[in-house]
Amino acid sequence: MSRVCRIGIIGASGYTGAELARLLLNHPHIELTYVTADRYRDQKAASLYPNLTGICDLSYTVFDSRQAKENSDLLFLALPHGTSMKIVPQLMDEDHKIIDLSGDFRLVDKTVYEKWYGIPHVYPALLGAAIYGLPEINRGAIKRANFVCNPGCYPTSVLLATAPLLTRKLIQTQSIVVDAKSGVSGAGRGLSLSSHFPECNENVKAYSVAAHKHTPEMEQEMSKLAGKEIKISFTPHLIPMTRGILSTIYCDLKRSLKTPDLLEIYGLFYEGEPFVHILREGEYPETKSILGSNHCHIGLEVDGRTRKVIVVCAIDNLIKGAAGQAIQNMNIMCGFSEDEGLRAVGLVP
């Protein structure tokens, strides 16, 4: 692939698509050439997202597979679940790379997908064809891939928080509890009662209890890390802020360990990783610290009284949980420096 990579974003009018555009416009080795949004055909991207004024002069177009491939070397699909599966087969060839940010190709089992997403999968033959794009775990496979499925936001936080425990077989795998909280942007740009300001402001609520579609994705990837089947108890919550995820994971330790022991294990596991940072003993992640960045903060504490380890992870759901991680994958696939275009520090205050 040429040193300057032509990039297309299919579904560029949603929050994730807009975040992809914002980040890519700061990338020295790419040219953003093609953005689609059927609903906003011929409308300037900057008219929908004024932060792009004077920076991006592109207009949205209606998706056409031939035009998409003619104008792009690598394509991001920032489309709703159920839509990507219809488009990916039109784009797959030896000359183009694809990064899908939907959940359509994360699961390898058609039955599981249809149970949790509630729709039929129209291209089940492609399930398992995409590399799961969590760079800290699958970097080697991503580097060789032409088709990557970007992880979900909740799974990103939970997998990064538990990978050292699972790979070292330090915890009981039948009693993992995940309590996660997300900002309202995770619901997308579409209008809904649950994200209506009077409904979500000054309010915290659980939703999709024991039924969230990210659950099987977490279980599938955690099982790979552990080498055995894992089922978790997962409860997400909506909190009244725009961005950020804070996941707290409770695990039963197999043997007596202290907080410094596990911090050392985590530090070694993520040594050299540009975006995962292990906090010091007694420090715990805050969503404010990673706001607007591709960074992930992890803190933990051993409760000796109950022999549990409590792991806390914070990410920006739109960046490390979506667009930033997709660009991280792009950098790996294209041979760019992994942190290119992603060196922004979190916005504090």
Query: Tell me, what DSSP letter sits at residue 282?
Result: T
Residues 6+ apart with CB under 8 A from 129: 105, 147
CA dihedral 17, 20, 272, 186 (to 10 degrees): -30
Cβ contacts of 171-175, under 8 Å, gap ≥ 24: 171/251, 171/252, 171/253, 171/254, 171/309, 172/251, 172/252, 172/253, 172/254, 173/226, 173/228, 173/230, 174/230, 174/231, 175/251, 175/252
Pairing of strands 205-206, 233-238: antiparallel
Angle at 27 between CA 294 and CA 143, to 5 degrees: 70
Geometric angle at alpha carbon 130, from 125 and 135, rounded to 5°: 165
Burial annotation 14-40 (CB, 10 A radius, 16+ → b, else e) = bbbbbbbbbbbeebebbbbbbbbbeeb
Catalytic residue among 5, 56, 149, 153: 153
Partners of 246 in the β-ladder: 181, 314
- Look up 153 and say whether it is catalytic: yes
Gap between the Cα atoms of 316 and 170, Å rounded: 28
| Closest to 292 (Cα-Cα) out of 141, 156, 146, 185 | 185
What are the residue numbers of the active site?
153
